[in-house]
Every structure is written in C-alpha cells, then in structure tokens.
C-alpha cells in the first residue's frame, strides 16, 4: 500500500495549513511506519495533535478509524475532519450524531457526516459494544488513530478496540507518554506502540509564540494529603481525597484567589467531585463571578451551549471534574485553578495546558495551584526523557527538571535556579551559608571561609599523593597509583563540567543560575564534584556527558 497516495472520495480542499513543526512530526511518523506497525507521537498540549492526525487521515488511502474516549473529543475530531472536507461516519448514539452534524453546519456550512463512509470517528466504549456489527468494515480498516495514547494498554478497553482492526497500522498521540501506575506503552511490555516519535517541546512552542507564557501562584492551603492511599490507577484514592477537600477551606480559597489574581479573566477550575464542583460554582456566583458547573452527566447540548457562553464571556468560570482536561480546545481560557490534587503527571499537564492557547491580547496564562500539583510534578515545560518502557521505581534524576519554590512575598512559583522571584524580585534569605545545601549549590552565596575550605579539598587532589611515613614498597606504589587514577578521573570530570558550563553560558545564564542548575540536576555542587573519588567522578562524568549529548 503506497502511503504517498491520496485517499479517494474527499469532497473539499484542505482549509487547515500545518505548522512547520507539525509537518516535521508528520514526516517522521511516515518514516517510522516504514520500520514499525504502530507509532506513537508526542506533542505538547495545545500543539495541534488533532489537526495533525486529521491531516494524515485526510490523505491516507483506505478505511480509517479515529478513536476517542469522550463525546467532546469525538466531536472535536469529527469537526477537524470536516474542516478538511473528509466525509465520515460517527460510531456513536444517534443523539451524538445529530449533535455533531449540527456542529458541522454551524462551523462549515454543511455536514460531512456520511453513514456509508469508510472513514469513521468512534467513541471507544461504543465501538466495543458494536464490535460484532462492524466485522466487515473493521477488517477493511487500514489505519487506526488513538487520541490520548497514554490510555492504550494491551488488555484494557483501548487495546480491545484497536485489536478489532487486524489489518491496520496504528497511530497514537499524546502530550505525555506516561501513566500514573507506571505501566509502559511499548509493545514489548504493557502497550501496543512499537516506536515513539517525539516532537517539539512545550518551552520551544512558548518561545515561538505558538503557546502562551504562564505565571503560577500557589497560595497557602490547609488541604492535608498525608496518609491518603494510592488507587490502582496510581492516583490518589478518590473517596479519601473528596473527604479531605471537604474538611479544608479550599472552596473559599479558590474564589478569593481567582478574584485576587485573575479577576476578569476566563477561568476553568478543576474540582475533585461533582458536589465540591457545585459548591465552588455556587461560591463564585455568590461572590459576583458568573460560573457554571459541568460534569460527565451534563447533556451534550447544555455542555456545548455553556462553553459557547463562556467563549462570549457571558460566563467567567467553568467548574468541572476532569471534564476539560484531555483534548478540550478553547483558546479563550486565561486562568486555570487547581482544586484537585493529582499524582498523574499526564492529568496535571493536560489540565495545566488548557490555558496555554494564545489569543489576541493575552500576554500570559494565570495558574492558581491550591493542590500542590506544581510542587509535586515540577514545571510542565521542563524537558523530559520520554520512553515506551515501564517506569522504574528508582530512576536517575533528570538534570533538566529543576525543583520549584513558592515566593513567600507574592506566592509565585518559580524554579530554584533563580536567586530572586521573577514576579516580584523578592530574594529569600538562606537559612545558613555554611554548606552548599543551604544555598542550592550556589557558590556565590557561601561564606568565604566555607568556600576556602572546599577549595583546599580540591587542591589536595591536584597535589601529590599524601603518603604516610610508614608506607613503603608496594603499599607506597599502590597509594601513588590510586591517587594518579583519581586525578585522571577528575581531569575527565572537569572537562565535562567545563563543557556543561559552556552550554550554560551559551544559553545566557549567569554563574549563580548555572551553579544552581548543576546542583539540582546532578545532586552535587560544582566544587564538591571536583573533590570526588574516582568511582564517583567516573559516574558523574557519564551523566554529564549523557546530558550534553542529549
């Protein structure tokens, strides 16, 4: 089958132009298909994954099925295909088909629903229920596309759904190819993906203007999460979490901090459960902020109309329970409030990313974290080494993932690599200046006498071996040999540190920030590293060189 061919029976020219990074990702997907049957694509939230795979569906020859797990995502994919003029069937309840057809008419002026089309958009639960009735078509499908790839496991409903297409290639897309339960996505362990294509990162998209900048605030909160069990999916136990939230002041805090930090901005608040979400919405309205609560049981038409009212600014707050995490696309969102703690990095990034779509007049998004999610996971735009493998219980630290701190003056959240808060310029005073751990490894912050002592430790390595007077013969030669080996290991380590420092200077970072990045990235300050023994020096050299190479 020639992948370069154009599918037949398309009814309109393309109206959506791929961005350069999407074109690059698309080319890499096709290249990966030459080696692998099922390919995964990683692009950040807001990067246009739906647009990209709709473009691929538009040109792919033969029958195609795109699968999503919620009606909003089925609707979104269907509309994206309509924008390309792709006639397609919708495997879902009749009311959903009618609803999506109306969306087509409102957005394109015509309907692209075709019950006889070989191309389909399906809800995962519906396609499994109707499996027996779809046999002939399922055998003819040549490509399946799975939105939110991180759900896809060989034994779950997603795996069952794609297994209905034995003659098809696969494409799964996600912003975060990881799971809270640690299971892998690769076909050699828990999943079905053979090769992973990693696209452009979130920070690159922000710097290029494709996503908007953000500011994070983490006001004090009395929500106590100590002792909460972990559920089978790797996240917090939901009943216990709900009870802790109800015992806290988080509802009032959410409203108060929104009015303080983001008054007049369109906001989405993520709550733990429906009752709490309803209480938060009620509190917003009582405080003069027009709000609505939406949940999974809200009728489709009401959801759709409420979102349209939100986009028109008739409503200023949408309070929901994980409803507007995955796949929800509305550039008007200017503020996200976390009232829902999560141990899932994927969920955190999805919810965080709702506010990053750019729009005219929007200089930055406001993130208000009442749940400790940013402190738990770090900044979402930090580079991460993605893999299809299972997550090991103990992994080496990520040199790019810096810990964050909350400014005591303005509650802004920022990386500890900064000496001063980037929001209000407050400089926190370290508890002491007598050791690197008190100053985040920043050698410029240490007391002079402490710095001098550390330099003496380094100079002992650079000097001759220290041989006890009683040492003679073989013992003496052994001491000299080990000292020389340590010096050689240190020479290689210092070369690696110099290369690393050169990259930092090229990135425009001052010494203070570079010292902090080294300390948090590699677990030791620059000066203490130069006094390490031979085995530790060799190990650290390997990690630094690996990071530079990556």
Strands 413-415 and 335-338: unpaired
Among 420, 440, 442, smallest CA distance to 512 is for 442
Is residue 547 scored above 60 in pLDDT? yes
pTM: 0.86
Task: List, for residues 261-277, the tens digit of each pLDDT value.
Answer: 999 999 999 999 999 99
pLDDT of residue 2: 36
pLDDT of residue 6: 39
Other CB atoms within 10 Å distance of the CB of residue 3: 15
Answer whether 229's CB lies under 8 Å from 237's CB. yes
Euclidean distance between CA atoms 349 and 327, whole angstroms: 11
pLDDT of residue 396: 59
Euclidean distance between CA atoms 464 and 23, whole angstroms: 59
Among 152, 176, 157, 144, smallest CA distance to 41 is for 176
Task: List, for residues 79-125, the tens digit of each pLDDT value.
Answer: 999 989 999 999 988 888 998 999 899 889 999 999 999 999 999 99
Mean pLDDT of 284-302: 91
Other CB atoms within 10 Å distance of the CB of residue 420: 13
> Across-strand partners of 91?
122
Euclidean distance between CA atoms 293 and 303, whole angstroms: 10
Mean pLDDT of 227-246: 91
* Highest CATH level, class, for 20-200: alpha beta
Euclidean distance between CA atoms 44 and 349, whole angstroms: 9
* CB contact burial 194-213 (16+ within 10 A = b; e otherwise): bbbbbbbbbbbbbeeebbbe
Euclidean distance between CA atoms 317 and 323, whole angstroms: 14
Task: List, for residues 488-542, the tens digit of each pLDDT value.
Answer: 999 999 999 999 999 999 999 999 999 999 999 999 999 999 999 999 999 999 9
Is residue 393 scored above 70 in pLDDT? no
Euclidean distance between CA atoms 78 and 281, whole angstroms: 31
Which element (helix H / strand E) includes 195?
strand 195-198
Domains 20-200 and 205-395 share a fold: yes
Q: According to the CATH classification, is domain 205-395 in 3.40.50.300?
A: yes
Other CB atoms within 10 Å distance of the CB of residue 245: 24
pLDDT of residue 476: 80
Task: List, for residues 320-366, the tens digit of each pLDDT value.
Answer: 987 775 556 666 899 999 999 999 998 999 899 989 999 898 999 99
Task: List, for residues 40-68, the tens digit of each pLDDT value.
Answer: 999 998 899 999 999 999 999 999 999 99
Look up residue 307 and give its two tokens: 């979102």
Euclidean distance between CA atoms 412 and 550, whole angstroms: 31
Spans of all domains in the chain: 20-200, 205-395, 436-549
Answer whether 215's CB lies under 8 Å from 360's CB. no
- Which residues have CB under 8 Å from 422's CB, separation 6+? 412, 414
Answer whether 384's CB lies under 8 Å from 391's CB. no
Euclidean distance between CA atoms 475 and 462, whole angstroms: 21
Q: In what order do the strands lie in the sheet with 267-270?
A: 213-217, 364-369, 335-338, 267-270, 317-320, 291-294
Task: List, for residues 164-173, the tens digit of each pLDDT value.
Answer: 999 999 999 9
For 26, 135, 366, 550, the CA distances from 168, given in Å and listed in that order, are 18, 14, 42, 34
Is residue 3 scored above 90 in pLDDT? no
Euclidean distance between CA atoms 404 and 421, whole angstroms: 11
pLDDT of residue 304: 81
The conformational region for residue 313 under phi > 0 = left, psi -120 to 50 = alpha, else beta, is: left
Is residue 10 scored above 50 in pLDDT? no
- Which residues have CB under 8 Å from 23's CB, separation 6+? none
Residue 178 has, within 13 A of its CA and on its CB side, a CA count of 20
Burial (CB < 10 A; 0-12, 13-18, 19+), residue 453, is exposed
Is residue 217 scored above 90 in pLDDT? yes
pLDDT of residue 13: 46
């Amino acid at each position: 089958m020639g992948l370069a061919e154009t599918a037949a029976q398309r009814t309109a020219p393309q109206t959506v132009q791929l961005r350069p990074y999407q074109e690059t990702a698309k080319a890499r997907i096709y290249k990966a298909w030459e080696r692998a049957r099922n390919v995964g694509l990683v692009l950040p939230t807001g990067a246009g994954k739906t647009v990209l795979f709709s473009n691929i569906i538009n040109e792919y020859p033969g029958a195609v099925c795109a699968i999503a797990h919620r009606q909003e995502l089925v609707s979104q994919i269907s509309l994206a295909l309509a924008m390309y003029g792709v006639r397609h069937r919708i495997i879902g309840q009749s009311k959903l088909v009618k609803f999506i057809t109306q969306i087509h008419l409102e957005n394109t002026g015509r309907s692209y629903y075709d019950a006889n089309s070989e191309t389909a958009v399906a809800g995962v639960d519906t396609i499994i229920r109707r499996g027996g009735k779809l046999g002939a078509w399922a055998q003819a499908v040549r490509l399946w596309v799975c939105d939110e790839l991180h759900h896809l496991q060989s034994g779950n409903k997603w795996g069952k759904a794609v297994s209905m297409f034995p003659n098809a290639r696969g494409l799964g897309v996600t912003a975060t190819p990881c799971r809270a339960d640690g299971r892998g996505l690769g076909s050699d362990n828990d999943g079905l993906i053979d090769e992973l294509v990693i696209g452009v990162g979130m920070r690159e998209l922000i710097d290029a203007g494709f996503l908007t900048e953000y500011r994070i605030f983490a006001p004090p909160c009395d929500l106590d999460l100590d002792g909460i069990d972990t559920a089978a999916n790797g996240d917090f136990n939901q009943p216990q979490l709900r009870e802790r939230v109800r015992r806290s002041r988080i509802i009032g805090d959410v409203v108060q901090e929104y009015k303080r930090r983001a008054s007049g901005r369109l906001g989405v608040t993520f709550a733990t459960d429906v009752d709490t979400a309803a209480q938060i919405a009620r509190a917003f309205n009582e405080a003069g902020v027009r709000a609505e609560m939406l949940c999974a049981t809200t009728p489709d038409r009401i959801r759709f109309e409420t979102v349209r009212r939100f986009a028109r600014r008739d409503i200023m707050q949408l309070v929901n329970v994980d409803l507007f995490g995955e796949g929800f696309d509305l550039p008007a969102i200017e503020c996200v409030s976390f009232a829902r703690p999560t141990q899932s990095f994927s969920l955190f990034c999805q919810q965080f990313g709702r506010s990053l779509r750019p729009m005219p007049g929007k200089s930055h998004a406001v993130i208000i974290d009442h749940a400790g999610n940013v402190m738990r996971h770090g900044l979402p735009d930090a580079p991460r080494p993605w893999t299809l493998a299972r997550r090991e219980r103990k992994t080496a630290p990520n040199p790019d993932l810096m810990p964050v701190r909350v400014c005591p003056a303005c509650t802004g959240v920022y990386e500890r690599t900064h000496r001063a808060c980037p929001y209000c310029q407050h400089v926190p005073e370290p508890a002491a200046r007598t050791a690197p751990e008190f100053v985040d490894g920043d050698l410029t912050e240490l007391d002079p006498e402490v710095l001098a002592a550390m330099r003496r430790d380094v100079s002992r390595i650079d000097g001759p071996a220290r041989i006890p007077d009683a040492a003679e013969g073989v013992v003496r030669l052994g001491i000299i040999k080990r000292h020389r080996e340590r010096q050689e290991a240190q020479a290689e380590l210092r070369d690696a540190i110099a290369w690393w420092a050169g990259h930092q200077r090229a990135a425009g970072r001052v010494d203070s920030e570079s010292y902090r990045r080294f300390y948090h990235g590699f677990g030791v300050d620059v000066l203490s590293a130069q006094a390490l023994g031979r085995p530790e020096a060799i190990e650290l050299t390997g990690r630094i060189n690996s990071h530079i190479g990556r």
